[in-house]
Amino acid sequence: MSFWSEKRIVVTGGAGFLGSVVVAQLRHQGCRNIWIPRSVDYDLVQMEAVQRLYDDAAPDIVLHLAARVGGIGANQANAGRFFYDNLMMGTQLMEVGRQRGLEKFVALATICAYPKYTSVPFREEDLWAGYPEETNAPYGLAKKMMLVQAQAYRQQYGFNAIVLFPVNLYGPGDNFDMQTSHVIPALIRKCVEAQAKREKQVVLWGDGSPSREFLYVDDAARAILMAAEQYNGNEPVNIGTGEEITIQNLAHLIADEVGYKGELVWDTGKPNGQPRRCLDTSRAKQLFGFEAAMTLRTGLRTTIRWFQANRESLREVAF
Beta-carbon contacts of residue 62 (< 8 Å; ≥ 6 apart): 9, 10, 12, 93, 97, 102, 104, 105, 106
Alpha-carbon gap, residue 272 to 294, rounded angstroms:
26
**Mind giving me the DSSP string for 149-189?**
HHHHHHHHH---EEEEEE-EEE-TT----TTT--HHHHHHH
Establish whether 231 is a catalytic residue: no
Opening angle at CA 66, ends 102 and 229, nearest 5: 45
In the set 54, 84, 131, 139, the catalytic residue is 139
Alpha helices (runs of H) in the chain, residue ranges in sequence order: 17-28, 47-57, 72-77, 79-99, 137-157, 183-197, 217-230, 247-258, 282-288, 296-310
Alpha-carbon gap, residue 180 to 174, rounded angstroms:
11
Residue positions annotated with a catalytic role? 139
